[in-house]
Chains A and B, each alone.
Chain A
Amino acid sequence: MKADRYIGIILIIFSAFMYTQTFKFPPAMLGTLGAGFFPKILFTLLGLAGLGLIIGSFIQNKKRPLEKTFSLRVALQRHSLVILSFVLVFIYIVAMHFLGFLWATLGFMISLMWFLSPRKIKSLPLIIIISCGLTFVIYYSFLKLLQIFLPEGVVF
Chain B
Amino acid sequence: MLDLILLGLKEIFQPYPLIFLFFGTIAGIVVGCIPGFTVTMGAALLLPLTFGMKSIEGLAAMIGVLVGGLAGGQISGILIGIPGTPSSVATVFDGYPMAKKGEAGNALCLGVWASFFGGIISAFLLLFFAPPLASMALKFGPWEFFSLVAFGLTIIASLSGESLLKGLISGLLGLIAATVGADPITGVLRFDFGIYGLSGGFSFLPVLIGLFAFSELMSNLEKKERSTEKLILNPNLSFSSPKMIRTIFSQPVNLIRSSLIGAFIGVLPGAGASISNILSYDQAMKGSKYPEKFGTGIPDGIIASESANNATGGGALIPAMALGVPGDAVTAIMLGALILHGIQPGPMLIVEFPGLVYGVIMAFFLAHFFMAGVQLYGISLFVRLTRLPLYILVPSIVVFCVVGSFAIHNRFFDIWVLFIFGILGYLMKKFGFPLTPLILGIILGPLAEKNLRRALQTSSDLSLFFTRPISLIFLILALISILYPFYQRYKKGKVKQN
B234 at the binding interface (Cβ < 8 Å): no
Which of B176, B185, B416 is most buried by chain A, counting CB atoms within 10 A of its CB?
Answer: B176
Instruction: Of the listed stretches B297-305, B333-341, B396-404, name the one at the interface; the rest are far from the partner chain.
Output: B396-404
Residues B453 and A33 in contact, CB atoms below 8 Å apart: yes
**Bound form: Cα–Cα A153–B398 in Å:** 19
**Minimum CB–CB distance for B32 against chain A, Å:** 22
Cα A138 to Cα B173 with chains together (Å): 34
Expressed in whole angstroms, the Cα–Cα distance for A148 and B402 within the complex equals 13
A33, A117, A126, most chain B CB atoms within 10 A? A33
In the complex the two chains form, is A112's CB within 8 Å of B398's CB?
yes
Interface residues of A in 8-59 (CB under 8 A from B): 11, 18, 21-22, 25-26, 29, 31-39, 42-43, 45-46, 49-50, 52-53, 56
- A7:B431 contact, CB within 8 angstroms: yes
Chain B interface: which size bin?
35 or more
Partner of B169, one of A53, A118, A127, A142: A53
Indicate if B426 sits at the interface (CB-CB under 8 A): yes
Given contacts A34-B186, A85-B218, contact A109 B431 (CB under 8 A): no
Contact between B224 and A81 (Cβ–Cβ < 8 Å)? yes
Contact A150 B403 (CB under 8 A): yes
A112 touches B172 (CB 8 A): no
Residues in B381-412 with C-beta less than 8 Å from chain A: 389-392, 394-396, 398-400, 402-403, 406-407, 410, 412
A-chain residues with CB within 8 Å of residue B432 when the two chains form the complex: 1
A82: interface (CB < 8 Å):
yes
Q: Are B391 and A116 in contact (CB under 8 A)?
A: yes
The reply to whether B399 and A35 contact each other, CB–CB distance below 8 Å, is: no
Contacts of A96 in B (CB 8 A): 402, 415
22 A/B residue pairs, CB under 8 Å, sorted by A: A3-B431, A25-B188, A32-B186, A33-B456, A35-B185, A35-B188, A35-B190, A37-B453, A38-B448, A39-B176, A39-B179, A49-B165, A52-B165, A82-B426, A89-B422, A112-B395, A116-B395, A127-B391, A135-B399, A142-B407, A146-B407, A150-B403
Q: A33-B453, A46-B173, A85-B221 are in contact. List 7 more A-B contacts (CB 8 A).
A: A1-B431, A25-B188, A32-B453, A36-B190, A38-B448, A39-B179, A127-B392
Residues of A within 8 A of B (CB): 1, 3-4, 7, 11, 18, 21-22, 25-26, 29, 31-39, 42-43, 45-46, 49-50, 52-53, 56, 78-79, 81-82, 85-86, 89-90, 92-93, 96-97, 101, 105, 108-109, 112-113, 116-118, 123, 126-127, 130-131, 134-135, 138, 142, 146, 148-151
